[in-house]
């Protein structure tokens, strides 16, 4: 049998990393993940894989490392010799980036530079996926946005991602590195972090329906997002690295919904009136809210044949039902 293709994932314990690991394992890859030593208490998203003796230690391997530690990262690369690198790690909460701008820039911008430098030094050419973000467009001058839209970030996170995205392009052009930017718009799932508004809503709705909570406090509910399903989006990442030429791709649905739409869909799942439970608190609003962020998936649909499979209402339902299941059966 030919040796399994080796992939290295930074951010394997996150929402996207855990789904990507499952996808790659399903395709016969040997999957290696970089984890921080402090993250051993937050590996719930891959715990089912670690508990599987047929997978962990034979096709799934975890390596301790930190994105700020170039020496250790180089050692991991030399041990693994990956054919594909998926760089997903980094502080990814936009609102939080206003509070911790320096560490956000270090984790998002400088870490990407570090990994690109290591990648171009490898003896065997590899393929590199960089997780860019719609936040690089911030306050866009056109809508929907495409791969050619000017970068106008409105947050420290967006600025850091813009730097990393441009750097990936430079390394592709200057060194011939096979590097792709996946410009992903908001993508959610039951594995979304609890500090993100979609997960916050789904969790609160489930708890309200069980009588464990009574209200959901939100900031600006008129804010609109292009929301997709994370499981669909990790397939897009994989497809980018299978193509014969490296390029940049917007991954989006092309449709926006408001936070209010998400709230109403979520309460409809449990058949409760949202008006009775939702409260507004301006403290939860961002200092600078991006506007008109909606992506055009035309290029990735045409070139790679990718298409999102999950509807907005289907996504909301899955997230709320997952929260209800996590609470256990309802006591009569």
Peptide bond into 144 cis (omega under 30): yes
Torsion of CA 69, 71, 73, 79, to 10 degrees: -160
| Candidates 84, 107, 135, 323; catalytic one | 135
For 106, which DSSP code?
Answer: I
| 133 classed as catalytic | yes
39/36 Cα distance (integer angstroms) = 5
**CA pair distance 88, 24, nearest whole angstrom:** 15
Catalytic residue among 29, 86, 129, 157: 157
DSSP string for 257-295: EEHHHHHHHHHHHTT--GGGTEEE-GGGS-SS---S--B
As a whole number of Å, the end-to-end CA separation of the chain is 55
CA diameter of the chain: 65
Cα distance between residue 93 and residue 300, in whole Å:
25
SS3 169: helix
Asked if 246 and 296 touch (Cβ cutoff 8 Å), the reply is no
Q: Which of 97, 119, 132, 133 is catalytic?
A: 133
Helix (H, G, I), strand (E, B) or coil at 31: strand
Residues 6+ apart with CB under 8 A from 78: none
The beta strand positions in the chain, using DSSP E, are 6-10, 30-35, 60-64, 84-87, 127-133, 178-184, 187-188, 216-218, 224-225, 228-229, 248-251, 257-258, 278-280
Active site residues per annotation: 133, 135, 157
């Amino acid at each position: 049998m030919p040796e399994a293709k080796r992939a290295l994932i930074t951010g394997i314990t996150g929402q996207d990393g855990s789904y990507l690991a499952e996808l790659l394992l399903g395709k016969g890859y040997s999957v290696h993940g970089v984890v921080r030593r402090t993250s051993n208490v937050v590996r719930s998203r891959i715990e089912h894989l670690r508990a599987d003796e047929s997978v962990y230690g034979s096709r799934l391997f975890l390596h301790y490392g930190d994105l700020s530690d170039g020496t250790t990262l180089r050692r991991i690369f030399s041990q693994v010799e990956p054919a594909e690198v998926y760089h997903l790690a980094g502080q990814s909460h936009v609102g939080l980036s206003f509070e911790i701008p320096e560490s956000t820039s270090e984790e998002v911008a400088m870490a990407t530079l570090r990994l690109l430098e290591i990648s171009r030094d490898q003896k065997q050419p590899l393929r590199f996926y960089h997780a860019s973000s719609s936040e690089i467009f911030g306050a866009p001058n056109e809508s929907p946005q495409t791969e050619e839209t000017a970068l106008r970030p409105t947050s420290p996170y967006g600025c850091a991602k813009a730097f990393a995205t441009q750097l990936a392009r430079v390394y592709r052009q200057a060194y011939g590195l096979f590097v792709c930017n996946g410009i992903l718009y908001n993508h959610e799932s039951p594995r979304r972090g609890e500090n993100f508004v979609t997960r916050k809503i789904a969790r609160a709705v489930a708890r309200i329906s069980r009588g464990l909570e009574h209200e959901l406090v939100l900031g600006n509910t008129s804010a609109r997002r292009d929301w997709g399903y994370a499981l669909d989006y990790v397939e897009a990442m994989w497809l980018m690295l299978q193509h014969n030429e490296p390029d940049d791709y917007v991954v989006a649905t092309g449709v926006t919904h408001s936070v209010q739409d998400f709230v109403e869909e979520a309460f409809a799942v449990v058949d409760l009136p949202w008006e009775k439970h939702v409260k507004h608190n301006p403290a939860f609003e961002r200092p600078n809210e991006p506007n008109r962020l909606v992506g055009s998936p035309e290029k990735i649909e045409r070139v790679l044949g990718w298409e999102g499979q999950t509807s907005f209402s289907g996504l909301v339902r899955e997230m709320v039902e997952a929260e209800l299941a996590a609470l256990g059966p309802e006591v009569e």
